[in-house]
Structure 1
Amino acid sequence: MKLNTQEWGTGDRVALLVHGIMSDHRTWRRVGPALAERGYRVIAVDQRGHGLSPRGAGETPQERYALEAYAEDLVETLPAGVSLELAVGHSLGGITLLRAVERLAPARAVYVDPAWQFGQAEGVDPAMFVEFRHATREQIAGLNPRWEAEDIEVELATLAAWDPDSALAMPGQHSGLPVAPAVPSLVVLADQSFLVSAEDAELLRRRGFEVRTVPGAGHTVHRDDHEGFLAALEGWI
């Protein structure tokens, strides 16, 4: 499936940004321009069922939103002949990127609070995501006190454009921690991440990943602390 994309910047240094569930390319509204200022041509996708990209095909949510299909979409969407210097995936985007990384072959990969352990995370129920689609401006602001006002408006817009079946498809689809990085890889975690425990983080280090945490940041690290997120990427961008 060819995905909708948003680009910032020009040139041969290409960076790919892959958003998390319920979101789309607009979550990168500050990160995309920041990378463009550093000389990248930035390509941000809307994953299937998100933003302006098509919905999946099939009779069940699992058929429409199989994890491997997300990865195939990335490979199909990246322009022919493009050599990736950097690929960044947040949450669900971290699963997608991990499954596509060998085919995309970026020089460096960054996984932002990846949902590799989604099925094992305590208190994570897909029904909560579906219900959150109807969240109000006040509820979003209350849950994300560090967000700028524009991020709240973006969240409202992306929720309205999202197919909640993508959340219902997650149970039963195996992900899990990677055994080794396919390319040099950084994992950027939320402070006290509910998706990657301290024990998991140490295991990832032993397996060859560099792991950094942004103090005080929640799951959507790049929106909770934009400057802190960019600082965590030092040496990788």
Structure 2
Amino acid sequence: MQLNTHTWGEGDRIALLIHGIMADHRAWRTVGPALADKGYRVIAVDLRGHGLSERGEYTLESYADDLVETLPAGAELAIGHSLGGLTLSLAVDRLRPQRAVYSDPAWHLELPEGFGPEVFAQFKAFPREQIAALNPRWDAADVDIEVATLALWDETSALGLSPLAGQDLLPQKPVVPSLVQLADPSMLINEERAALLRERGFEVRTVKGAGHTIQRDDLDGFMASLDGWI
């Protein structure tokens, strides 16, 4: 499936951005321009079922295949957040960016008892006030964007995560030089898994005090943690 994309900048280098579940390319509204200012042409996708991309079957394979069909291979940089990080890791051997950044990637979906992937679908009905309360560090613009993206999001895509609950999807090795960027604390990559990733050849950095959507909680911390990678 060809995905809807949004582009910032006209630089000679290419950066790819892949958002997480419930979001779309607008989750990168500050990161895209920041990378464009550094000389990148930045391409952000809407995953299937999100934003203006088409709906369809929601499997990890289909998410990864869509990236390969839509995005150019050999980009200088690729960043994936949460589900986007997991999807990037499944497409990275075909996309072959020069560097990959996995921002709090969904490599281990260990949810609390009684909180299955289907619960994510309930977020679609959250009012603006509740979204703001859950994300106190977000700018008002990000809260407004979250309301808009939830309205477009096909919530049945959350059900495609059900088979992933409890699975260990940590990559065995980095296909390309790779940074894993973690929230503080990360709900998805605990200290034991972070140590394992380091043993496997990944660089791991934590953005102190940031929540799961790191770039929305702390853009400066997000960009600083990319030092040497962008």
Residue aligning to 1:29: 29
| Pairs aligned (count) | 227
Deviation at 1:194, TM superposition (A): 0.8
Unaligned runs of 5+ in 1: 57-63
> Partner residue of 1:54?
54
Give % identity. Answer: 64
Q: Partners in 2 of 1:232 and 1:192 — Cα distance? A: 15
User: Does the 8 Å CA contact 2:18/2:44 hold for their aligned counterparts?
Assistant: yes
Partner in structure 2 of residue 142 of structure 1:
133
Query: What's the CA shift string for 1:85-143, capped at 9, x where partnerless?
Result: 0000000001110000010000000000000101x343542122111111111101101
What's the offset of the Cα at 1:175?
A: 5.8
Q: How far 1:78 moved relative to its partner? A: 1.4
CA distance in 1, matches of 2:12, 2:46: 22
Q: Following TM superposition, by how much is the alpha carbon of 1:215 offset from its aligned partner in structure 2, in angstroms?
A: 0.7
Give the structure-2-normalised TM-score: 0.96
Q: Which runs of 4+ in 1 moved over 4 A?
A: none
The residue number in structure 1 matching 2:222 is 229
> Which residue is equivalent to 1:127?
118
Distance in 2 separating the partners of 1:143 and 1:20: 17
Match of 2:60 in 1: 67
Give the structure 2 partner of residue 10 of structure 1.
10
Gaps of 5+ in 2: none
Quote the residue 2:159 is aligned against: 168
TM-score normalized by the length of structure 1: 0.93
Structure 2: distance between partners of 1:25 and 1:172: 25
State the superposition RMSD in angstroms.
1.1
- Supply the AA of the counterpart residue of 1:115: A
> 1:144-159 counterparts in 2 under 5 A?
144-159=135-150
Distance 2:181 2:205 in 1: 5
